[in-house]
A and B are shown apart, each in its own frame.
Chain A
Amino acid sequence: MLEDKKQTFLANFVAKTADKDSSLAKQEALKALENLEFPTTREEYWKYTRVGKITNANYSQSPSFNVSDISRYLVEGLEAYIVVFVNGFFSEELSDISKAKGITICPIAKARKEYVDQFEQYFGGLSKHESQFFSAVNTVYNTNGVYLNIQKNSLVDKPIHMINLTDAENAAYNPRNLFVVEENAEVTIINSYETVSGSSFTNSTTEIYVKEGANVDSYILQNQSETSNQVNEIDVVQKANSTYTANTVTLNGGLVRNNYNIEVKGQGCETNLYGLYLTSGNQHIDNHTIVDHIEPNCESNEVYIGVMDDASTAVFNGKVFVRSEAQKTNAYQQNKNMLLTDNASAYSKPELEIYADDVKCSHGSTTGQVDEEAIFYLQTRGVSEVSARKMMIRAFANEILDNIKIDALRDILESKIDERFS
């Protein structure tokens, strides 16, 4: 019975994956899928997230798309290289990567044929396709995504904005990204997920190689419809003296699960993970992060902040490992939740596993409500209750928004958040 359900789910993808991929990772994932089942709440990693919304739906890969205007999905006022995917298909017409300097950027399907050596070296080297069901599905059935290689010492002049859109009913797609940021290169990457129409399942896997001295500033913006679900795996390896920063902002979606797996494999690294999630309705947003400190003298900062409205649910599980070799590690982890109603819930589990003895690590978690004393205080100054609540929520969210280095992006997020609470 369950086996049938899995086969039916997988059958949605099989016939339509045109791409010929003979990679080792794909073979491994195919083999793993023989035994891997849908995750259940019986496993610790999925304890608070039921994937029935995804596994019971009748998804299929959409054969085409109708989007012709992407202006409303751009970041207003931001000059960027634009890569557009609709229902998992790369759209050359809607994209603008022609003048990119010092970088190789192309759909991953193309890279598979043209950059065979790099592909063999990197593809599947980080993804959890042997242990995680959705990662395996992505590795076998990935439709498209971006291959990005930033050459040594290149400072990419504009952010690269990848826009993932869907416009079909029950559209399932498996975007697969592979980013290789070479020594001392710097790049800003924005990945946005939006629904044009219909409903979808986005099963995304991204592998990021951050080489010695490289600096990657990445943004994930999730703003899909409430009937759209997403599982998003981001696997990162950092080499010495590199910086990797991830800002994950979830404004909308049905069931959203983000899995960050970060291996810090070099000294002098900095890792920053910032997350903001605003949930409403019956939304379920789950952020799982793992930062694995393997080498000494590194620093990681993690702050996830959420505001939960209506009957929505948020889950945070952040795990920091400090291996026995990783002396002088500085690791900070914080999760803060604000519940706006009695029916909203937050499950928070910050975890530290420390095997070294000369480290500075702290973690914490708070879940509370809007401070009613503060609301009254603001009201006595003439501020309406609605504005006062908006101010308090914005102040709470600002801790994350303040980390966003792209002004145009921060402005847009601020106005979206203000709109939401007015």
Chain B
Amino acid sequence: MLSIKNLSASVDGTEILKGLNLEVNAGEVHAIMGPNGSGKSTLASVVAGKDDYEVLGEITLNGKDILELAPEERAAEGVFLAFQYPVEIPGVSNVNFLKTAVNDIRAYKGLPPMVAKDFLKMLKEKQALVELDKKLSSRSVNEGFSGGEKKRNEIFQMAMLNPKLAILDETDSGLDIDALRIVANGVNKLKSLDNATIVITHYQRLLDYIIPDFVHVLYDGKIIKSGTKELALELEEKGYDWLIKPEMAQ
């Protein structure tokens, strides 16, 4: 589904990603772990299409080159990014913006706008999925939301847009254990054989709830180790040093 080949990304001449390779197939959950500053959030931003970066290499989604697509076109192709720090947008209502988003994506696919009744039905279903208070969906996007509400709102939006590839950037940060369970539960329910999830996280804790098929360690702009979920447990126990030190010695 997602194929990243020899990806490098720099900002103002500083290289952050340095030849990264990653293959994600439909139905899989991949976890990307790594110390601070290793390039995890940059990877998420580059895949989503943020244009602050000088990018080289190749990213394809189901065989389609997405590097030359605008962020909204990537979204329409099925890429979704759950932000580490969801942006507050005063004056833009959650519901109205989602209606525009859903219909802009439908227009991209040559489909007519969704009937209002169907949209409301979907809205209710997906709200229930992440246990999001109805009041929150009619409020301005993320404005005055607590940390947990913001993260739940991200998963709610993901549910509404039904992406092929979801990238969750540190979705567990700032969550208490109940909120973490609700968010993880939402993600698990949205999982299918047709979609894939990339979970970016610092902690093994989230991976107790969202079980990954593969775990990758990102360090200094490259994936230095890949494994299965046991790797995350090993990292929890030993930290990153045992992986990094031989790397540095080379």
Contact = CB atoms under 8 A, between A and B. Distances in A.
Interface of A: 371, 373-374, 376-385, 387-388, 391-392, 394-396, 398-399
The 7 A-B pairs at the shortest CB distance, nearest first, are namely A395-B91, A379-B71, A382-B75, A382-B105, A381-B101, A377-B87, A382-B101
Nearest to B105: A382
Contact of A382 (B50, B72, B83, B140): B72
A373 B87 contact: yes
A124 B74 CA distance: 64
B45 to A, nearest CB: 9
A380 B97 contact: no
B221 interface: no
The contact size tier of chain B is 20 to 34
B90 A382 contact: no
Contact of A395 (B48, B89, B101): B89
**Residue among A374, A381, A387, A392 with most chain B CB within 10 A:** A381
Given A382-B108, A399-B91, A376 B50 contact: yes
Contacts of A396: 91
Contact of B98 (A371, A381, A387, A394): A381
Interface string B76-99: 100111010011011110000110
B189 to A, nearest CB: 20
Given A383-B72, A383-B97, A391-B97, A374 B89 contact: yes
Given A374-B87, A382-B101, A382-B102, A391 B75 contact: no
A381 B49 CA distance: 12
**Residue among A380, A388, A391, A392 with most chain B CB within 10 A:** A380
B128 to A, nearest CB: 20
A391 B89 CA distance: 10
**Residue among B86, B101, B102, B105 with most chain A CB within 10 A:** B101
Given A376-B50, A377-B83, A378-B97, A383 B104 contact: yes
A381 to B, nearest CB: 4
Contacts of B104: 382-384, 387
Contact of A385 (B48, B70, B98, B141): B70
Contacts of B127: none
**Residue among B49, B87, B102 with most chain A CB within 10 A:** B87
A395 B75 contact: no
A377 B101 CA distance: 11
B101 A383 contact: yes
A380 B82 CA distance: 9
A379 B86 contact: no
B87 A395 contact: no
A394 B101 CA distance: 16
B9 to A, nearest CB: 15
A377 B89 contact: yes
Contacts of A391: 89, 92, 97, 100
A63 to B, nearest CB: 48
**Residue among B74, B89, B98, B140 with most chain A CB within 10 A:** B89
B1 interface: no
A382 B49 CA distance: 12
B179 interface: no
Interface string B97-124: 1101110110010000000000000000
24 contacts: A374-B87, A377-B89, A377-B141, A378-B89, A378-B92, A378-B97, A378-B101, A379-B72, A380-B49, A380-B75, A381-B75, A381-B98, A381-B161, A382-B105, A383-B97, A384-B70, A384-B104, A388-B72, A391-B89, A391-B97, A395-B90, A395-B92, A395-B140, A399-B91
A381 B89 contact: no
A357 to B, nearest CB: 35
A169 to B, nearest CB: 41
Contact of B70 (A374, A379, A395): A379
Given A376-B71, A395-B89, A382 B97 contact: no
A373 B133 CA distance: 25
A194 to B, nearest CB: 28
Interface string B42-63: 0000001110000000000000
B34 to A, nearest CB: 22
B201 interface: no
B195 interface: no
A334 B92 CA distance: 21
Interface string B138-160: 00110000000000000001000
A396 B80 CA distance: 26
A393 to B, nearest CB: 10
